[in-house]
A and B are shown apart, each in its own frame.
Chain A
Amino acid sequence: MRKLRTITGVLAIVFAALTVMSCKDNKKEHSNEDGHHTEAGHDHSDGHHNNDKTSIDTSREIKENSQKNTTTSPIIDAYIQIKNGLVADSKEDAANGGTALLEAFAKYDMTTLSGETHKEYMEIYESTKENAEHIVKSPIDHQREHFEVLSTDIDDLITLLGTEKTLYKDFCPMANNNKGAYWLSEVKEIKNPYFGAKMMKCGSVKKQIN
């Protein structure tokens, strides 16, 4: 019994010693920004930051592209796959759609895009990628949250690049915590991806594309 106590004692001492040692090299790592903006009273109003809310660039309205673009089809198909997964309350199908969407984007040839269109595409792509990744790995309620944002992305992408497909832009006022949410569908009939079987018919067609 005494031996056990000795061992416990030794353990405690080692632990204490390590703690003290580990605190010694408590030096802060230096970052790239070192030296800049260290004072708390940094002037915010130098015009470089979007402090002033009214000065935020409002030119984000995307000009509608009515071209019958076929290159966007794989992306739209993958989006529809996610949508139909959610309509069927299937987390797996939605996740597979997410993977398909990531693949479709990876294959998309963006060398044809230039200037503003390219910039806009990249922003949409970044956002879509993040949303698709969450859809791949999340439970269904979280998938639906990301699907709401994803729908905006894909809608904007279609506005930007055009499509040859006939699509319906649907709206359900109860989705997204009663704030309302859009989605795109390949069929005219309302099939709600935000509620699935719980409220399949909630929503209405707001716009038809092609």
Chain B
Amino acid sequence: MKIVKIIMLVLLLVFVGIQFISTTRNQSNSTPKTDFMFVNNVPESIHKQLKVSCYDCHSNNTEYPWYNRIQPVAWLLENHIKEGKSELNFSEWENYSNRRKKNKLKSIISQIEKDKMPMYSYMILHGEAKLSEKDKKALIIWVSQLRDSLK
């Protein structure tokens, strides 16, 4: 019994302790001029899908879930977002050269086709981010057209 008590106490202390570690939040109040949605003519349905399924980790504005302030969740989210943005940041879209835009669009298509994105762990808590087969098809067609239109 005593051991259980000690373990619980240690866990409690660690849990309380890590709450004091702060993380950077990925939020901004406005959409920058360079944002994908401003630069491109994005149809309503595609717009909504990208926002819901991609923008949390691939833009400068994350819609945080309620549990985001509790460690170690906040850490995990912070790292995911940092990595996501370094691969593709929709907020910075217009800063990419056409060459890179085309690369990104190709990767978007391939990641969706192979069900690598949106990430499984993300969809557990964000059921609405999941793309149906129909959604995927529509997205891929639209993204391919955008890609072909770039020189």
Chain A residues packing against B (C-beta within 8 Å): 1, 3-4, 7-8, 10-11, 14-15, 18-19, 22-23, 26, 28-31, 33-38, 42, 44, 48-51, 53, 56-58, 60, 123-124, 126-127, 130-131, 145, 149, 153, 177
Contact = CB atoms under 8 A, between A and B. Distances in A.
A115 to B, nearest CB: 16
Contacts of A44: 38, 41
A127 B99 contact: yes
Given A4-B4, A11-B8, A56-B151, 19 more contacts: A4-B1, A4-B5, A7-B9, A11-B12, A11-B15, A15-B15, A18-B16, A19-B66, A19-B69, A22-B69, A22-B70, A31-B30, A34-B28, A35-B30, A44-B38, A49-B38, A56-B98, A126-B100, A130-B100
Given A3-B1, A29-B27, A31-B30, A10 B12 contact: yes
Contacts of A153: 99
Contacts of A36: 30, 32-33
A159 B29 CA distance: 44
A-B pairs, 6 with minimum CB distance = A22-B69, A31-B28, A123-B97, A33-B32, A53-B149, A60-B151
Interface of B: 1, 4-5, 8-9, 12, 15-16, 19, 25, 27-33, 38-41, 60, 66-67, 69-70, 94, 97-100, 103, 106-107, 110, 113, 149-151
Contact of A58 (B4, B38, B69, B151): B151
A14 B110 contact: no
Contacts of B149: 53, 56
A7 B15 CA distance: 14
A60 B66 CA distance: 47
15 contacts: A4-B4, A7-B9, A14-B12, A22-B69, A33-B33, A37-B32, A38-B31, A49-B33, A58-B151, A123-B98, A126-B100, A127-B100, A130-B100, A149-B106, A177-B113
